[in-house]
Amino acid sequence: MAGLAAAVKLADMGHEVRVYEGANHAGGRCRSFRDEQLKCSIDNGNHLVLSGNRAVQVYLQLTNAGDAFVMPGEAVFPFYDIQADESWNVRPGNGRSPWWLFSKKRGIPGVKFFEYFSAGKLNSAKPGQTVTDCVGGKGKLFERFWDPLTLAALNTPTDKASALLLKAVMKETFFRGAKYCRPMVAKKGLSEALVKPALTYLKSKGVKVSYKKRLTGLVRESGKVSALKFGKETVPVLGDKVILALPPNITSELVTEVNGPSEFHAIVNVHFKLAKKAEAFDDVPFLGLLGGAAHWLFVRDNIASVTVSAADELAEQPAAEIAKLIWADVATALGLDKTKAPANRVIKEKRATFSQTPGSLRKRPFQKGPDENLYLAGDWTQTYIPATIESAVRSGFFAAEAIKLDLAKKEKNG
């Protein structure tokens, strides 16, 4: 997504752009594909976009894909506690003040009054503090709001997750009011919503995308990248600007001066093919799950998809055991038979995101690379927000803006 976003932005600026994609598809891990066992299309992973994700909104406008998402009429986040057999909806208010947390109709049941002051502590978070340092590690508000929100946004346990990153999420969404935290889910799939529209747009701008071009090396001379190596093929790029939109470990191998984040957390997604569509999910097609192994349940037609964040230990288990464990939660939430899981697909992403701890933030490089014509993009680069789709898109835009700035400086200096 970072590479696509950079290409879209640069094409919009009027630049001549060429995209080299290492895989046989665009979008990286943000894509849909047909699963032959389930006989249908599924997303590689589940992603929730918020209306306050400003870079994604611009990206959707540029690619004419604004109608590719389902968005409820109001900001609402449904939850179900499996152990307590209790359901509720979090409904942020319209203003900037988080008064809605105190409302029984909008907030979280069972929360004691003093727990709400943790929002103020998070808003005053300092470098080096974890989410737990700011909001504590117990109580209903922690269990039913801070913990699931941290896992979803940072994919890092709360006792390790950077409070500054969660604060950034809150300031751009929940702390701004309902208008900025309406959930958006892809209608047909991630490829239909985020990838195909971008490819169509790039084609209309004359941008060529080459697939199965895995970058294996850079030719660097006199402080510039002069060529790209794709196996035995060498492509000269002297005089061009080069953006690397690659994972941090691969970027570090190609450009040793870049010492990006080196610790990661897994995400596990499980897709189940139900006998029929779950009707209860017509208005809001997702559900936050507490008290079990599953974290978020998404339903599209008759496919129930579950996401488990910070799933390092779970990812080590066999797929059949994971499916059995997760199905028990899904069946409970949907009122279905728990004894046997239906046809399913388990997808493990063991390096889904970098571990977003206070220490790792110092390793996020800026988009301007060490060579005169080299730039970096990726959700792991410095975007000041967690490694999400919004971060990936924002990084691509930042790289494009860095190029624009450098070109302006060059023109000014003659």
First-last CA distance in the chain:
34
Q: Give the pLDDT score at 32.
A: 95
151 is a domain residue? yes
- What is the CATH classification number for the domain harbouring 300? 3.90.660.10
304 is a domain residue? yes
DSSP at 173 = T
341 is a domain residue? yes
Write down the mean pLDDT value for the chain.
94
Report the domain count for the chain: 3
- Model confidence over 202-241: pLDDT tens digits? 999 999 999 999 999 999 999 999 999 999 999 999 899 9
Clarify whether residues 193 and 174 are in a common domain. no
Residue 98 has pLDDT above 70, yes or no: no
Name the residue among 318, 305, 308, 296 with its Cα closest to residue 274: 305
Clarify whether residues 327 and 349 are in a common domain. yes
CA distance 341 to 329: 11
Clarify whether residues 100 and 221 are in a common domain. no
Taking residue 256's Cβ as centre, other Cβ atoms within 10 Å add up to 9
- Model confidence over 178-202: pLDDT tens digits? 999 999 999 999 999 999 999 999 9
Residue 365 has pLDDT above 90, yes or no: yes
Clarify whether residues 387 and 248 are in a common domain. yes
CA distance 32 to 41: 6
Clarify whether residues 250 and 380 are in a common domain. yes
Of 147, 181, 215, the domain-final residue? 181
| Full domain range(s) for residue 100 | 92-181
Clarify whether residues 200 and 124 are in a common domain. no
Where do runs of H (alpha helix) occur along 50-162? 54-62, 118-123, 131-135, 140-141, 147-154
- What is the CATH classification number for the domain harbouring 407? 3.50.50.60
CA distance 160 to 133: 9
Of 140, 165, 181, the domain-final residue? 181
Sign of CA dihedral 116, 119, 121, 122: positive
348 is a domain residue? yes
Where do runs of H (alpha helix) occur along 180-247? 190, 196-204
Name the residue among 347, 345, 356 with its Cα closest to residue 265: 356
Q: Per-residue confidence at 398, pLDDT binned at 50, 70, 90? A: very high
Span 30-58, mean pLDDT?
93
Q: Which two tokens stand for residue 66?
A: 């604004």
Clarify whether residues 281 and 250 are in a common domain. no
Clarify whether residues 96 and 174 are in a common domain. yes
Name the residue among 304, 330, 321, 322 with its Cα closest to residue 268: 322
Q: Give the pLDDT score at 280.
A: 63
Q: Give the pLDDT score at 284.
A: 84
* 56, 49 Cβ separation under 8 angstroms: yes
359 is a domain residue? no
Residues in the chain, overall count: 414
Clarify whether residues 164 and 205 are in a common domain. no
- Model confidence over 244-294: pLDDT tens digits? 999 999 999 999 999 999 999 999 999 999 998 877 666 788 999 999 999
282 is a domain residue? yes
Residue 74 has pLDDT above 90, yes or no: no
Q: Which two tokens stand for residue 386?
A: 């967690």
Residue 43 has pLDDT above 70, yes or no: yes
For residue 288, give every residue at least 6 positions away whose Cβ sits within 8 Å of its Cβ, in sequence order, or none.
77, 78, 79, 80, 148, 295, 296, 297
Clarify whether residues 349 and 274 are in a common domain. yes
Taking residue 127's Cβ as centre, other Cβ atoms within 10 Å add up to 10
Of 131, 161, 181, the domain-final residue? 181
* 4, 195 Cβ separation under 8 angstroms: yes
CA distance 178 to 90: 11
Give the whole-number percent of the chain exceeding pLDDT 70.
97
DSSP at 231 = T
361 is a domain residue? no
Q: Give the pLDDT score at 120.
A: 87
Q: Give the pLDDT score at 383.
A: 98
* 58, 398 Cβ separation under 8 angstroms: no
Predicted TM-score of the model (pTM): 0.95
Position 110: which residue type? G
Clarify whether residues 313 and 167 are in a common domain. no
Q: Give the pLDDT score at 18.
A: 98
79 is a domain residue? no
Q: Give the pLDDT score at 116.
A: 81
Clarify whether residues 143 and 191 are in a common domain. no
CA distance 396 to 410: 21
